[in-house]
């Protein structure tokens, strides 16, 4: 038998069970079975004494005698309580239903062994529904161990497929299986003191103690992380080897100097550091593929501009892509302003650019007159022809899946440098798994004198209080964003939701004293744009919208962000929304409004978001709370591995090691010619990775 053998022919399986195992647990081969890890182990390695059970958290095995039964019947139901004693103390065993057989099977006075989770109440111990067996019978089959338990769907239990069944199968496998080839190179195993694969697989099911279990898991986690990094690192190394990058050898030249003088502030240390990293890339002769992370308001636009100017100074064109028209326009306005008094020619191209203007822009792009082109994703989709595009900047990366990124830089000898910017900070571990083919820069500092946004949580019954605060602020000339949650399932419900919201606000903020603008998904882009523009021109004090304003619009005069039904948002989204205020010099607020009763999870999110404004801290908490699959908070989450064991919130160290090993290995042998088993395994993984990679 080897790992590819079908389990169908193992003793006790047969066609019926084999079909069920395949259908419900995707277990088809011995390998699948080996990788069906237990979700917990029950400590049956020793017997505990009733007076020295350490905690409530573990299952314990206890020998003793039943000395009494008592049946209690109340309105809420009936239960059976047994008095159970060992040499040292007394405990209660409780059954709530279907217990008629118990008294018959275990008459008073009989010796039994129980296994269960204790609960403590004052000084007494009790067990609810423990496993129970006659002492002699139990001891006959007893092998001291940590007993693996598997999660099994109810349906399978009907066919006697349960933890015990899986255990028996695995024991048989381990007795009969030949060698299991370890794909990991021996020197990596040695360097990190890992178990060989066969041992790890054995011990994750049948460890002698918790220490061994931990080591078995460590090895298998290493595999998960290592194989997740291999293809990403391979992509990166291949790109470095095959794609040449333009060399922007002129440094701080003409345009950069002029623009620098135009700035009315000095760059932060973090901005300078990141620009240096970009500079190193663009003179390296290799194509830059860099992800720039920086919290909302950390000043990424300026970095983007100077990166583009590195190209422009060297006679190349640059382009900046934003996810929405509004944002593209805003970048255009800002960058044009910063570049005034220079000869840099900047143009804006979006879906709503008029045909005549478009023709002109395309012409000037092709003949090289335009230096910087700003626009939406349509820029690349339409394959706009540049004369010599040297660098591309993409704002708000989370909307770009790996596959789309791959499309961006189709292989050719020379490719433009690429800088991707994201305002959703993600922990390092996620950055490495999601964007492991990129280099990462971080702006970890906000420009000085930024106002801290005060975040306050109001329950529905405090709404009036909140509205009165808002009125005071409006009196001082401030503007307000109100965000209603987007209902993805139905456009109709969505519209209804926002219309009702509008009604509510109009009641408390009546015309003509107040004026409200509403933006919603059924408006055309042009309508939305014009509404935003009117708000920017201060034609209304309140802007109601669904999350359309999420991605980065700058309205410095808006100082209040009201998030309705804040309990429905993920941490990342709340943080993003909050980042829309506090952009000017005035004191700013984020008001979260929720129903009075909140789930524990929602309450925790609200607590986190009101206690810190640090995006990286929030991202880390988010990862801990929800796991990587949902970290994005938006529906566009990119690229997630479904690790069985590794946890990105706590395995940063192991991930770094795995990545480093992957890197060193591929650097020497990028096609893994000397590692056929590794290559084979990588191919399996790569398929899965592509499956997991959703295109946002
Ligand atoms: P984001 O990183 O969210 O894209 P922006 O680039 O829009 O941030 O910058 C936010 C604001 O901070 C802008 O008004 C910008 O002019 C300003 N800013 C950027 N860098 C600095 C700096 N070093 N000092 C002061 N203000 C800065
Ligand atoms: Mg921005």
Determine if the peptide bond prior to 512 is cis (ω within 30°).
Answer: yes
> Which DSSP helix (H) or strand (E) runs through 457?
strand 453-459
CB 384 within 8 A of CB 362: yes
In the reported structure, the alpha carbon of residue 302 is separated from the centroid of ligand 2 by a whole-number distance in angstroms of 9
> DSSP characters for 491-505?
HHHHHHHHHHHHHHH
Determine which residue's CA is closest to atom 16 belonging to ligand 1: 299
> pLDDT > 70: what percent of the chain?
92
pLDDT of residue 665: 93
Q: Which two tokens stand for residue 253?
A: 């030249």
Strands 588-594 and 90-95: unpaired
SS3 assignment for 213-277? HHHHHHHHHHHHHHHHHHHHHHHHHHHHHHCEECCCCCCCCHHHHHHHHHCCCCCCHHHHHHHHH
Name which residue sits closest to atom 26 of ligand 1, judged by CA.
447
Q: How far apart are the CA of 394 and the centre of ligand 2, in A?
A: 10
- Domains of the chain plus CATH, in order, are 46-143 (2.40.50.140), 254-443 (3.40.50.300), 453-612 (3.40.50.300)
User: Ligand 1 atom closest to Cα of 271?
Assistant: 23
Interval between CA 635 and ligand 2 midpoint (Å): 20
Eight-class DSSP state of 485: P
Q: Is residue 425 over pLDDT 90?
A: no
Find out whether the beta carbon of 398 lies less than 6 Å from any atom of ligand 1.
no
The CB of 451 under 6 Å from ligand 1? The reply is no
Neighbours of 361 (CB within 10 A): 19
Q: What is the DSSP letter of 81?
A: E
pLDDT at 424: 72
The number of the ligand nearest the C-alpha atom of 327 reads: 2
Residue nearest ligand 1's atom 15 by CA:
299
The SS3 assignment for 172 reads helix
Render the burial of 178-189: b for 16+ CB within 10 Å, e for the rest.
Answer: eebebbbbeebb
Q: Is the CB of 393 under 6 A from ligand 1?
A: no
Token pair listed for 215 = 């080591």
What per-residue confidence (pLDDT) applies to 691? 38
Ligand 1 in reach of 298 Cβ (< 6 A): yes
Residues 6+ apart with CB under 8 A from 431: 291, 293, 440
> Is the pLDDT score of 553 beyond 70?
no
Q: Would you mind telling me the total number of residues written for the chain in this entry?
A: 696
Query: What is the best residue among 263, 291, 335, 447 to mutate for testing ligand 1's pocket, by most ligand atoms within 8 Å of CB?
Result: 447
* Pairing relationship of beta strands 118-121 and 60-74 according to DSSP bridges: unpaired
d(CA 252, CA 249): 10
- Looking at residue 480, its pLDDT comes to 96
DSSP codes of every residue in 110-155: -EEEEEE-EEEETTEEEEES-EEEEHHHHHHH---EEEEE----HH
Cα separation of the two ends of the chain: 43
Q: Measured from the CB, is residue 447 less than 6 Å from ligand 1?
A: yes
For the segment 70-85, the average pLDDT, to the nearest whole number, is: 90
pLDDT of amino acid 638 = 35
Binning pLDDT at 50, 70 and 90, where does residue 539 land? very high
Is the CB of residue 677 below 6 angstroms from any atom belonging to ligand 1? no
CB 423 within 8 A of CB 573: no
Does the structure show a pLDDT above 70 at 407? no
* Confidence at 514, pLDDT banded by 50, 70, 90: very high
Q: Is the CB of 423 under 6 A from ligand 1?
A: yes
Query: Looking up tokens 């989709």, which residue turns up?
Result: 381
Determine the atom of ligand 1 nearest the C-alpha atom of 304: 6
In this predicted model, what pLDDT tens digit does every residue of 257-268 receive, in sequence order?
788 888 888 999
Total-model pTM: 0.70
Ligand 1 within 6 A of CB of 183 = no
Is the distance from the beta carbon of residue 267 to the nearest atom of ligand 1 less than 6 Å?
Answer: yes
Atom 23 (ligand 1) nearest CA: 267
Q: Does the CB atom of residue 615 touch ligand 1 within 6 A?
A: no
Residue 682 pLDDT exceeds 50? yes
Q: What are the tens digits of pLDDT across the range 60-77?
A: 899 999 999 999 988 888
C-alpha–C-alpha distance, residues 610 and 642, integer Å: 31
Q: Given phi > 0 = left and psi -120 to 50 = alpha, else beta, which region is 55?
A: beta
Place of tokens 């099911």: 205
Lowest mean pLDDT among 112-126, 189-203, 372-386, 498-512: 372-386
Q: From the alpha carbon of 449, which atom of ligand 1 is closest?
A: 25
- The total of other beta-carbon atoms located within 10 Å of residue 212's CB is 18
Q: Nearest ligand to the C-alpha of residue 304? A: 1
Q: Output the pLDDT for position 400.
A: 57
pLDDT at residue 688 in the model: 52
How far does the centroid of ligand 1 lie from the alpha carbon of residue 130, in Å? 61
Q: How high is the mean pLDDT of the chain?
A: 86
545 lines ligand 1 (CB under 6 A): no
The alpha carbon of 297 and the centre of ligand 2 are apart by a number of angstroms equal to 7
| Residue 472 near residue 479 (C-beta atoms within 8 A) | no
Residue 6 has pLDDT above 80, yes or no: yes
Q: Which atom of ligand 1 is nearest to the CA of 395?
A: 4
- Please give the Cα distance from 232 to 372 (Å, whole number): 31
Is the model's pLDDT at 505 over the cut of 60?
yes
Q: With residue 51 as reference, give the H or E element that holds it.
A: none
Which of ligand 1's atoms lies nearest the C-alpha of 554? 7
In this prediction, residues 640-655 reach a mean pLDDT of 78
CB 643 within 8 A of CB 433: no
Q: Measured between alpha carbons, how far is 646 from 250 in angstroms, rounded to an integer? A: 45
Q: Ligand 1: which of 259, 264, 301 to mutate, most ligand atoms within 8 Å of CB? A: 301
Which residue's CA is the closest to the ligand 1 atom numbered 12? 299
Q: What is the mean pLDDT of residues 525-542?
A: 87
Cα distances from 281 to residues 67, 235, 246, 276, in angstroms, run 78, 17, 10, 9
Q: Can you give the C-alpha Rg of the chain in angstroms?
A: 31
pLDDT digits (tens, 9 = 90+) for 659-680: 999 999 998 988 889 998 888 8
């Amino acid at each position: 038998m080897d790992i590819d053998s079908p389990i169908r022919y193992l003793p006790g399986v047969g066609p019926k069970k084999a079909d069920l195992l395949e259908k419900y647990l995707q277990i088809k081969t011995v390998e699948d079975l080996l990788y069906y890890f237990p979700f917990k182990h029950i400590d049956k390695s020793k017997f505990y004494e009733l007076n020295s059970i350490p905690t409530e958290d573990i299952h314990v095995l206890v020998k003793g005698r039943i000395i009494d039964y008592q049946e209690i019947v109340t309105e809420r139901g009936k239960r059976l309580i047994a008095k159970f004693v060992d040499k040292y103390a007394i405990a209660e065993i409780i059954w709530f239903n279907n217990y008629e057989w118990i008294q018959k099977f275990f008459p008073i006075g009989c010796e039994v062994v129980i296994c269960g989770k204790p609960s403590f109440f004052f000084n007494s111990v009790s067990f609810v529904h423990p496993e129970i067996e006659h002492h002699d019978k139990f001891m006959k089959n007893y092998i001291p161990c940590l007993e693996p338990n598997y999660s099994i769907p109810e349906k399978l239990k009907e066919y006697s497929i349960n933890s015990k069944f899986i255990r028996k199968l695995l024991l048989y496998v381990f007795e009969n299986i030949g060698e299991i080839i370890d794909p990991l190179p021996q020197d990596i195993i040695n360097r990190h003191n890992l178990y060989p694969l066969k041992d790890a697989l054995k011990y994750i099911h049948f460890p002698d103690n918790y220490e061994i279990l931990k080591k078995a898991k460590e090895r298998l986690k290493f595999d998960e992380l290592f194989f997740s990094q291999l293809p990403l690192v391979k992509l990166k190394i291949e790109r470095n080897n095959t794609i040449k990058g333009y060399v922007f050898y002129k440094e701080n030249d003409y345009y950069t100097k002029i623009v620098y003088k135009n700035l009315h502030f000095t760059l932060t240390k973090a901005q300078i550091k990141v620009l240096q990293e970009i500079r190193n890339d663009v003179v390296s002769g290799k194509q830059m593929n860099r992800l720039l992370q920086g919290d909302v308001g950390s000043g990424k636009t300026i970095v983007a501009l100077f990166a583009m100017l590195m190209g422009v100074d060297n006679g190349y064109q640059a382009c900046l892509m934003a996810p929405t028209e509004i944002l593209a326009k805003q970048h255009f306005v800002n960058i044009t302003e910063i570049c005034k008094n220079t000869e840099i020619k900047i143009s804006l191209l979006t879906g709503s650019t008029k045909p005549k203007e478009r023709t002109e822009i395309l012409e000037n792009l092709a003949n090289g007159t335009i230096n910087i082109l700003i626009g939406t994703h349509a820029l690349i989709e339409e394959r706009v022809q540049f004369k010599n595009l040297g660098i591309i900047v993409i704002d708000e990366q989370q909307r770009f899946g790996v596959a789309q990124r791959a499309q961006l830089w189709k292989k050719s000898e020379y490719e433009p440098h690429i800088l991707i910017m994201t305002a959703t900070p993600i922990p390092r571990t996620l950055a490495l798994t999601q964007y492991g083919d990129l280099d990462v820069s971080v702006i970890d500092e906000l420009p000085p004198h930024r106002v801290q946004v005060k975040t306050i949580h109001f329950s529905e019954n405090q709404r009036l209080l909140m509205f009165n605060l808002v009125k005071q602020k409006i009196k001082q000339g401030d503007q307000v964003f109100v965000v209603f949650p987007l209902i993805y399932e139905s456009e109709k419900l969505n519209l209804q939701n926002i219309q009702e919201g509008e009604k509510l606000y109009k009641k408390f903020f009546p015309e003509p004293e107040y004026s409200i603008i509403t933006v919603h998904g059924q408006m055309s882009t042009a309508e939305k744009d014009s509404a935003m523009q009117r708000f920017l021109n201060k034609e209304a004090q309140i802007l109601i919208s669904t999350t359309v304003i999420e991605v980065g619009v700058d309205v410095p005069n808006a100082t209040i962000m009201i998030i309705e039904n804040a309990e429905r948002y993920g941490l990342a989204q709340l943080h993003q929304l909050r980042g829309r205020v506090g952009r000017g010099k005035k004191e700013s607020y984020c008001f979260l409004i929720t129903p009075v009763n909140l789930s524990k999870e929602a309450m925790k999110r609200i607590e986190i978001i009101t206690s810190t404004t640090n995006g990286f801290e929030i991202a880390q908490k988010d990862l801990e709370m929800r796991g990587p699959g949902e970290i994005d908070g938006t529906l566009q989450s990119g690229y997630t591995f479904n690790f069985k064991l590794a946890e990105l919130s706590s395995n940063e160290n192991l991930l770094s090691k795995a990545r480093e090993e992957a890197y060193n290995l591929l650097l020497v042998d990028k096609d893994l010619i000397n590692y056929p088993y590794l290559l084979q395994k990588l191919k399996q993984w790569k398929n899965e990775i592509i499956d997991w990679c959703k295109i946002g």
